[in-house]
Amino acid sequence: MSAISREDVVHLAHLAHIEMSGAELDKMTGELDAIVGAIASVSEVASSDVPATSHPIPLTNVLREDTVGQTLSIDEVLLNAPDSDSDRFKVPAILDGE
Amino acid sequence: MSNYTDELVDFDEALDRYDPVLGFEVHVELNTKTKMFSDAPNAFGDAPNTNVTPVDLGLPGVLPVVNKTAVEYSILIGLALNCQIAEKCGFARKNYFYPDTPKNFQTSQFEDPIAYDGYLDVELEDGEIFRVEIERAHMEEDAGKLTHMGGATGRIQGADYSLVDYNRSGVPLVEIVTKPITGAGKRAPELAKAYVAAVREIVKNLGVSDAKMERGNVRCDANVSLMPKGAEKFGTRTETKNVNSLRAVEHAVHFEIERHAAVLDSGAKIVQETRHWHEDTRSTTSGRPKSDADDYRYFPEPDLVPIVTTVEWIEELRGRLPEPPAERRKRLKAEWGYADKEFRDVVNAGVLDEIEATIAAGASAAVARKWWMGEIARLAKAADKDIAALGVTPATIVELNSLIEGKKINDKIARQVLEFVIAGEGSPSEIVDKRSLAVVNDDDALGKAVDDAMAAMPDVVEKIKGGKMQAIGALMGPVMKATRGQADAGRVREIVMEKLGL
């Protein structure tokens, strides 16, 4: 039984604003299913009383003092911007956002 | 913008048949010096993209580090909202794709907010207390600011492109979420306004936020649903965004109740969606459906380790809590001895701090109220300014009052002196000297003025001699004229009586 259906991939592609062809969807469905299947084997060894781990090292409270540091120059900020205008990033108008 | 007009049901009629259920998400921007996860300045109004570090741009390989002060401010907010503080909590990635976050996720808290299970007692205008249960208060970061360019309306609809400024990206936020609020009935809009006002007052009083709604320091999303009167199962809710003034919160809840009632009356169903508030038309329009976009695929943020709060840390922070605003009001009312209405007027006029400072500077409670609610309020209204913006200091009031009590000036002159103070002419004493406004009560000068007046009005003098004491009033005009309004009326009366041997 597949963990990832083709519909799941269509849905994820939509959420991520990625356009995918039918062939790509088919390929990705198989690949993602294999990955999720591999990861699912972890659940077989981890019992329900083991809390999920997001950090392998037991560190807590890595905090910094509220002191202002160095910021980037405008040129540095916009270095990777595909387009800019008036020192701001220029992006296509997107309708379905917040 | 929708070009149809929503059907509405009259508010009172709607609430004869339905019970409203409210819920609020209030975002508070903290006023830390730096951002939540980077050491870029947290400042409002700077040139675009000047307060930006690689962390705020989500560049590959960057490592966010949590701002300790932001965590402490969040705990303070939690404590002030009577919340439990989590012993251990962490951050999560809320994934979405929109240019206001270059990382493609917002760092937030999901399953383990830093504060939870609290309440806030909200005081309505007539003094009734309504308890609002707080579900949680969690830490997160603000997004960048988009400006939509082109198109006819300046709104995103019809825009050609958008410009992004990431100065706000990463500014620390605390999102305060209520539990569903039932039982407000017809007072729902009033409660909505009072709740947001109370949250704003608390964060301002804590000093953890500038709390200016017009700058977006405090922002509210208002959830509204209706259920048939007496029902227990909540109706479908809508979430109205962009309600960023106290008045707008009140109006938005009022509008949504009227709109929901019309939809439900027609037999249709409420669509679960976000609604956009429009201040100009005082109405909402449909945003996006909520269900699909809710798929944020949260997962624990691997770059940030958990936060553990010790009892000592929490108690140290609890020790920093100022007196809660509501308790302070109760205490001041008792101390000052104002009547209910007098005190409410003072609160509504927003001069509680000014009166408190004036009393601390040495004035009586009655004198402080007389000035701030009287002449100063009148001058502010005439100048179309906030009372605070006039720049009247407590010291000025105390000085004016001591000049009156020392009989150096009378009430009428004092009001003039105040206007000169506001105009920047100096302190009251300086102005009285400079403009020679001191009341004339030296008996030589007054005696001469009285003699002149009596000589000019022999008939009046006869009347007084005949026992008509109110006739003294007729002498007052010429005496005041001779002393340019600065005579002490009581003393003039005494002198007249002395001269006539009465």
pLDDT in tens, B163-182: 999 999 999 999 999 999 99
Whole-number percent of chain B with pLDDT over 70: 96
Q: Find chain B residues with C-beta within 8 A of A11's C-beta.
A: 295
Is B52's CB within 8 Å of A71's CB? yes
Flag whether A85 is in a domain: no
Flag whether A13 is in a domain: yes
**For residue B489, pLDDT beyond 90:** no
What is the rounded average pLDDT of the residues A36-58? 80
**What's the CA gap between B92 and A47, in Å, rounded?**
23
Is A93's CB within 8 Å of B304's CB? no
- Chain A, nearest residue to B296 by Cα: A15
Is B164's CB within 8 Å of A91's CB? yes
Q: Is A38 on the interface with B (CB under 8 A)?
A: no
Mean pLDDT of chain B: 91
So what's the pLDDT on residue B290? 63
**Angstroms from A7 CA to nearest CA on chain B:** 14
Tokens of A70: 């160095």
Flag whether A58 is in a domain: no
pLDDT in tens, B237-256: 999 997 889 999 999 999 99
Flag whether A26 is in a domain: yes
Whole-number percent of chain B with pLDDT over 90: 64
So what's the pLDDT on residue B1? 40
So what's the pLDDT on residue B498? 85
Is A64's CB within 8 Å of B68's CB? yes
Flag whether A40 is in a domain: yes
pLDDT in tens, B205-241: 999 999 999 899 999 999 999 999 999 999 999 999 9
Domain that holds residue A27: 1-48
How confident is residue A98, by pLDDT bands cut at 50, 70 and 90? very low
HEC per residue, B403-470: HHHCCCCCHHHHHHHHHHHHCCCCCHHHHHHHCCCCCECCHHHHHHHHHHHHHHCHHHHHHHHCCCHH
**What's the CA gap between A13 and B497, in Å, rounded?**
100
So what's the pLDDT on residue B291? 55
**Angstroms from B40 CA to nearest CA on chain A:** 6
Buried b (16+ CB within 10 A) or exposed e, B251-287: bbbbbbbbbbbbbbeeeeebeebbbbbbeeeebbeeb
Flag whether A70 is in a domain: no
Is A63's CB within 8 Å of B99's CB? no
Amino acid at the residue B220: C
pLDDT in tens, A14-34: 877 789 999 999 999 999 999
Flag whether A20 is in a domain: yes
CA B414 to chain CA centroid, nearest Å: 31
pTM given for the model: 0.79
Q: Is A51 on the interface with B (CB under 8 A)?
A: no
Amino acid at the residue A10: V
The torsion angles phi and psi of B256, rounded to 5 degrees, stand at -65, -35
What is the rounded average pLDDT of the residues B131-138? 98
Q: Which of A14, A67, A72, A95 to mutate to test the interface with B (most CBs of B within 10 A)?
A: A72
Residue of B407 and B198 predicted with greater confidence = B198
Tokens of B86: 């989590």
Flag whether A22 is in a domain: yes
**What's the CA gap between B219 and B35, in Å, rounded?**
18
- Sign of the Cα torsion B272, B277, B281, B285 reads negative
Number of independent structural domains in chain A: 1
Is A16's CB within 8 Å of B97's CB? yes
**For residue B499, pLDDT beyond 90:** no
**For residue B2, pLDDT beyond 60:** no
Lowest average pLDDT, out of A66-70, B50-54, B70-74, B445-449, goes to: B445-449
CA B489 to chain CA centroid, nearest Å: 44
Task: Report the CATH number that the domain containing residue A36 is assigned in CATH.
Answer: 1.10.20.60
